[in-house]
Amino acid sequence: MVKVGINGYGTIGKRIADAVKLQDDMELIGATKTRPSYEARMAVEHGIPLYAAKDAEVFEAAGIKMEGTLDDLLAQVDIVVDCTPGGVGAQYRDVYKGAGVKAIFQGGEDHVTAGISFNAMANYRDAYGADLVRVVSCNTTGLIRTLYPLTQAFGVDNVFASLIRRSVDPPASKGSGVNFIEPSLKLPTHHGPDVKTVLSDISIQTMAVKVPTTLMHVHCINVKLSRPATKDEVLEVWSRTPRVRFVRGGDGVRSSAQIMDMARDLGTRRGDMMDIVVWEDGVSVIDRNLYYYQAIHQESDVVPEIVDCIRSMCKLQDGAASSMAKTNATLGLKG
Ligand code: NAD
């Protein structure tokens, strides 16, 4: 059993905690909090041992039982999943190294923080036995999930993607205006180069616009395929791709709102949708140009990738297929 700790129990951290608890080859030792928030109280209610990332006294004053400090947590684990806010993780890099534990960073950190960026399907073996790995962001994970199988099946000459981004996550009560559409003016945006940290040979450019919604991101993607393919051939490839799921506008799935309603109907924890969702009746092929729309549940799509990353770094499964199958079965994802 690999012993896992989580530094930063927020949007991603709490989901990793739940996912790790479902794996029979991993043990969740605990998670850190910085403040005695409602999330800290919920963690205690769910039996997750809490450790203070900073000041332990504030928790005692609030009546929340802590098991120790971050150092105490690091002393017990084989691997720590850093889920602190973007840019903060890099500051802990030397702390993790000093404690002699392996560490996974999130997409909010730069590639250089770990030197290896990860997606289970595309480069599981690159992380095998590694000490430091970064799991790419929610948007990058979504792009790789649908693009990688296209590179294998047809070859890809070029990709252009427009990302319609949620402004903040659902729990945020500040930072989200109600009347704005905000383009990212630094072009191309960082998302394309980020895909290349995993798929180094792909040619990709991206633009992005932030909109006042919290539920999901939506990508509008144009892929120039290397060889001609029909729409049915493309759909057949994705139908065999784990963690890529079809929905149909014809079934009334017109927007991210219905997708998240579907996720609640599926009965997933927190109503999460960890699969990448492609509108089947929104796929079109003209000459060698493939066009499609996909939706990304930003709070959860990286969770199965992080579970697989733990397996690769700790050498629990030799290859992506067996690790992904295990993760998919435990989290209820499309295999
Ligand atoms: P979050 O703000 O929801 O959670 C961060 C947690 O870290 C909070 O509990 C916060 O209290 C804690 N924290 C803050 N400073 C800390 C410190 N110095 N030490 C320890 N803990 C500290 O953030 P999040 O959305 O979970 O994002 C975490 C990482 O995951 C970021 O790199 C982000 O870019 C990446 N990510 C986020 C999303 C998303 O959409 N939310 C998706 C994919 C990846």
Residues 157 and 130 in one domain: no
Q: Report the CATH number at residue 36.
A: 3.40.50.720
Rounded to two decimals, the pTM is 0.98
Residues 166 and 253 in one domain: yes
Judged against a pLDDT cut of 90, whether residue 178 lies above it is answered with no
Residues 189 and 285 in one domain: yes
User: C-alpha angle with apex 305: 46 to 3, nearest 5 degrees?
Assistant: 50
Residues 202 and 110 in one domain: no
Q: Determine contact, residues 16/90, Cβ cutoff 8 Å.
A: no
7, 34, 110, 273: residue to mutate for ligand 1 pocket, most atoms within 8 A of CB: 34
Residues 201 and 125 in one domain: no
Say yes or no: CB of residue 51 within 6 Å of ligand 1.
no
Catalytic residue of the set 83, 138, 309, 314: 138
Q: Determine contact, residues 80/103, Cβ cutoff 8 Å.
A: yes
Judged against a pLDDT cut of 80, whether residue 176 lies above it is answered with no
Cα pseudo-dihedral 49, 54, 59, 61, rounded to 10: 160
What per-residue confidence (pLDDT) applies to 281? 98
Q: What is the mean pLDDT of residues 242-256?
A: 98
Q: Would residue 138 show up in a list of annotated catalytic residues for this protein?
A: yes
Q: Determine contact, residues 303/23, Cβ cutoff 8 Å.
A: no
- Give the range of the structural domain holding residue 65, as residue numbers without chain letter: 2-136+302-331
| H helices, E strands: number in the chain | 12, 16
Residues 184 and 195 in one domain: yes
Q: Report the CATH number at residue 234.
A: 3.30.360.10
Binning pLDDT at 50, 70 and 90, where does residue 310 land? very high
Distance linking the first and last C-alpha atoms of the chain: 24
Q: What is the mean pLDDT of residues 217-235?
A: 98
Residues in the chain: 335
Token duo for residue 58: 């504030």
Token duo for residue 109: 């950190």
Residues 225 and 174 in one domain: yes
Neighbours of 287 (CB within 10 A): 8
Residues 15 and 156 in one domain: no
Query: Exposed/middle/buried for 72, CB within 10 Å: 0-12, 13-18, 19+?
Result: middle
Residues 121 and 218 in one domain: no
Residues 285 and 173 in one domain: yes
What per-residue confidence (pLDDT) applies to 286? 97
Residues 218 and 311 in one domain: no
Say yes or no: CB of residue 12 within 6 Å of ligand 1.
yes
Report CA(16)–ligand 1 centroid distance (Å).
12
**Which residues fall within 8 angstroms of residue 172, CB to CB, at 6 or more apart?**
214
Residue of minimum CA distance from atom 25 in ligand 1: 11
Q: Distance between CA atoms of 299 and 214, rounded to whole angstroms?
A: 10
Neighbours of 73 (CB within 10 A): 26
- Ligand 1, residue 34: give the atom nearest the CA: 11
Binning pLDDT at 50, 70 and 90, where does residue 56 land? confident
Judged against a pLDDT cut of 90, whether residue 335 lies above it is answered with no
Token duo for residue 309: 């990353």
Residue with tokens 């996909």: 294
- Ligand 1, residue 70: give the atom nearest the CA: 20
Task: Give the amino acid at 309.
Answer: C
Cα pseudo-dihedral 242, 159, 294, 112, rounded to 10: 70
Please count the structural domains in the chain: 2
CA-nearest of 137, 151, 113, 135 to 191 is 137
Residues 174 and 262 in one domain: yes
Binning pLDDT at 50, 70 and 90, where does residue 134 land? very high
